[in-house]
Amino acid sequence: MVTRTDAPTRREQILKEAARLFAERGFHGVGVDEIGAAVGISGPGLYRHFPGKDAMLAELLVGISGRLLTGAKLRLAESGAAADPSAVLDSLIEGHIDFALDDRPLITLHDRELDRLRDSDRKLVRQLQRQYVELWVEVVRELYPALTEPAARSSVHSVFGLLNSTPHLARPGALPGRSVTAELLHRMARGAFAAAGAE
Amino acid sequence: MVTRTDAPTRREQILKEAARLFAERGFHGVGVDEIGAAVGISGPGLYRHFPGKDAMLAELLVGISGRLLTGAKLRLAESGAAADPSAVLDSLIEGHIDFALDDRPLITLHDRELDRLRDSDRKLVRQLQRQYVELWVEVVRELYPALTEPAARSSVHSVFGLLNSTPHLARPGALPGRSVTAELLHRMARGAFAAAGAE
DNA sequence: CCCTCAGGTTAACGACCGCTAACCTCCCTG
DNA sequence: CAGGGAGGTTAGCGGTCGTTAACCTGAGGG
């Protein structure tokens, strides 16, 4: 885990504000002037950093899908080959929760604005998402062999729905404390999987 | 349960197609001409049935929130006052799953396009949603007294996220059969609540 | 048999939006 | 110390979108 200490670049500021605005009002509901205003420049100035509005969304979605997948692969790798599937699942859940709690706008965009992408970008994002799901499915099936493959896939999608529900939980600060929320979500995810995997 | 046999009115056709299109491409991503075309009339003809595009979204969102709440109240009432909270929760879950599986576009809109409403409509929808959640929270707390009230509310929202994940599961027909999916979702929801309620 | 009106049509208006053009101004560097 | 590029600015173009206006048509009723 590397921690950034230098100031964010203008490009990063733009992406962050664009993510927030897209999540709040939808891709088509936000104008380039608004995005510009959010970072203190105005409208067309954005085109010095991005070729177009679509490109911002594309970079956001490809970025989050990639980071989710990379993070999961890392967690899988550092558990070693003969790892306890239960511990691996815990690690995957923990990683996903961190993402959902720390990057709420991105999590929202991720399953909401995918269809606004150019064909090639959409295919890329979908491919990354599919790999991420597949990785979970394998771990879940190892832990709950009774699950058929389609059932395991459905259960994984459903748990994503559960974990990604945080954006709807309340105004940003009104949760009962981050670690408490994280732990509750974690227990519920495990409980949901256990119920799915029961004969 | 009354079953409609007469043909849908033009107004109902419009609402149904608008719901589908809004869910697919977002409120701002759909033009009135498209909605018109989807029901075989064109563009401005819609204004014989609705005062504006906003009014269609408002009617959809108020409608679904109201039907969810009404259905839940009905299920609660017919269980009687001294009912087994476990059975009541099962009934609530079953009702919500029916909705999620039968009205996928509406479920999608319901937590996605709320902010596009006029202030008064948005307040109404939020009030209906809040009552619906509150109703679940009471049942859940009765069944799992160890849960604090904020924790119970969080768990209810999370389970909604789980149940509402069906739209993302696959192309419309590709699920392993409706009843199988419904039963899996039901078991997972119960498992999630049980895990949340465990000391 | 005419009148009305529900439910359409097409044309067009005004606003807005994404994007480009043209221009400006620092700051860095050879 | 010239010069050039990075990173802004404002003006404006072209297209799209929601909405309105004006007109049409066919069916039902007095």
In chain B, pLDDT over 90 holds for what percent of residues?
86
How does pLDDT run across B82-111, given as a tens digit for each residue? 789 999 999 999 999 999 999 999 999 998
pLDDT of B174 over the 70 cut: no
Handedness of CA A121, A153, A192, A136 (dihedral sign): negative
Structural domain containing residue B137: 52-198
Question: Can you tell me the distance from the alpha carbon of A189 to that of A86, in angstroms, rounded to the nearest whole number?
Answer: 12
Q: What is the gyration radius of the CA atoms in chain B, in angstroms?
A: 18
Protein-proximal nucleotides of chain C (any atom < 7 Å from a CB)? 6-12, 16-22
pLDDT of residue A168: 76
- Among the partner residues B28, B191, B196, nearest to A184 by beta-carbon distance: B196
Q: Which residue has the higher pLDDT, A69 or B176?
A: A69
User: How long is chain B?
Assistant: 199
Tally of structural domains, chain B: 1
B6 found inside a domain: no
DSSP A160-176: HHHHTTGGGTSSTT-SS
Burial of A158 (0-12, 13-18, 19+ CB in 10 A): buried
pLDDT of residue B79: 84
Asked if residues B165 and B184 have their Cβ atoms less than 8 Å apart, the reply is no
Q: What is the gyration radius of the CA atoms in chain A, in angstroms?
A: 18
pLDDT of A3 over the 70 cut: no
Q: How many C-beta neighbours within 10 Å does residue B31 have?
A: 13
Q: State the CATH number of the domain containing residue A58.
A: 1.10.357.10
Protein-proximal nucleotides of chain D (any atom < 7 Å from a CB)? 6-12, 16-22
- Lowest pLDDT segment from A86-90, A194-198, B108-112, B154-158: B108-112
> Distance, angstroms, CA B38 to C1' C15?
26
How does pLDDT run across A52-104, given as a tens digit for each residue? 999 999 999 999 999 999 999 999 998 877 789 999 999 999 999 999 999 99
Q: Which residue has the tokens 């029901």?
A: B39
Query: With a 7 Å cutoff on the CB, does B36 touch strand C?
Result: yes
pLDDT of B142 over the 90 cut: yes
pLDDT of B52 over the 70 cut: yes
Contact A196 B191 (CB under 8 A): yes
> Distance, angstroms, CA A43 to C1' D11?
13
Contact B155 A184 (CB under 8 A): yes
- Lowest pLDDT segment from A169-173, B72-76, B122-126, B194-198: A169-173
- Among the partner residues A27, A150, A157, nearest to B165 by beta-carbon distance: A157
> Distance, angstroms, CA B97 to C1' C6?
39
A19 found inside a domain: no
A42 found inside a domain: no
pLDDT of A15 over the 80 cut: yes
A116 found inside a domain: yes
Amino acid at B113: E
Asked if residues A106 and A19 have their Cβ atoms less than 8 Å apart, the reply is yes
pLDDT of residue A2: 60
Burial of A93 (0-12, 13-18, 19+ CB in 10 A): buried
Q: Which of B162, B168, B199 to mutate to test the interface with A (most CBs of A within 10 A)?
A: B162
> Distance, angstroms, CA B33 to C1' D26?
24
Nucleotide nearest to B29 (CA to C1'): D17
pLDDT of residue B81: 72
Q: Which of B30, B165, B193 to mutate to test the interface with A (most CBs of A within 10 A)?
A: B165
Contact residues on chain A for B195, CB-CB shorter than 8 A: 187-188, 190-192, 194
How many Cβ pairs within 8 Å bridge chains A and B?
132
How does pLDDT run across A125-178, given as a tens digit for each residue? 999 999 999 999 999 999 999 999 999 999 999 999 999 998 777 765 566 789
> Distance, angstroms, CA A50 to C1' D13?
21
Contact residues on chain A for B192, CB-CB shorter than 8 A: 162, 188-189, 191-192, 195
pLDDT of B173 over the 60 cut: no
A111 found inside a domain: yes
- Among the partner residues B158, B176, B180, nearest to A188 by beta-carbon distance: B158
Q: Which residue has the higher pLDDT, A104 or B168?
A: A104
- Among the partner residues A155, A162, A184, nearest to B151 by beta-carbon distance: A184
A16 found inside a domain: no
At what angle are helices B149-163 and B178-197 packed, to 10 degrees? 160
* B26-48: average pLDDT: 97
In the structure, what pLDDT confidence band is assigned to residue B22 with cuts at 50, 70 and 90? very high
Question: Can you tell me the distance from the alpha carbon of B160 to that of B138, in angstroms, rounded to the nearest whole number?
Answer: 15
Work out the mean pLDDT of chain B and round it to a whole number. 93
The pTM for the full model equals 0.94
SS3 A41: coil
Amino acid at A192: A
